[in-house]
């Protein structure tokens, strides 16, 4: 997976051009933007910031853990041990993280699922900034 283009993860769960139903479940603009930005390749993860400073994609490793994985949306949401407690808190768990699980989570549209993901993202990005 070292030769991927921008929005590669987005294309995994968004395969039809249509209005996103999850938008109906988020009334707070700030929270809605948090999820939208994450789905469209978060500007603060190294997978995206490395693009701006010329770091090769396979060198955009997460510096917050020892897994030696690319700091992508997938890694941030399901793999990085720094956010393990938050995943449990917001029921974003997986006994074996994989791209199918990531796609499944990012395709949830119920209010409770979307709100859990947003709360996780909000707290995880705060935690990320403090480390």
Q: Would 18 be classed as within a structural domain? A: no
For position 64, what pLDDT does the model report?
95
Which residues form the domain of 122? Answer: 28-130
For position 109, what pLDDT does the model report?
77
Is 1 a residue whose pLDDT tops 60?
no
What is the tally of structural domains in the chain? 1
What pLDDT, in 10s, does the model give residues 61-110? Answer: 999 999 999 998 999 999 999 999 999 999 997 778 888 888 888 887 78
For position 12, what pLDDT does the model report?
65
Torsion sign across C-alpha atoms 28, 29, 32, 33? negative
Q: Would 14 be classed as within a structural domain? A: no
For position 27, what pLDDT does the model report?
85
Q: Would 69 be classed as within a structural domain? A: yes
């Amino acid at each position: 997976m070292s030769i991927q283009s921008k929005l590669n993860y987005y294309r995994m769960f968004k395969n039809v051009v249509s209005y996103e139903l999850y938008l109906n479940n988020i009334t707070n603009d700030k929270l809605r933007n948090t999820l939208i930005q994450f789905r469209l390749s978060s500007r603060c993860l190294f997978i995206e910031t490395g693009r701006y400073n010329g770091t090769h994609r396979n060198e955009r490793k997460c510096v917050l853990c020892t897994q030696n994985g690319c700091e992508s949306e997938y890694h941030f949401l399901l793999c990085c041990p720094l956010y393990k407690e938050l995943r449990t808190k917001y029921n974003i768990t997986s006994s074996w993280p994989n791209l199918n699980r990531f796609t499944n989570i990012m395709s949830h549209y119920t209010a409770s699922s979307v709100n859990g993901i947003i709360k996780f993202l909000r707290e995880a990005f705060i935690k990320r900034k403090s480390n």
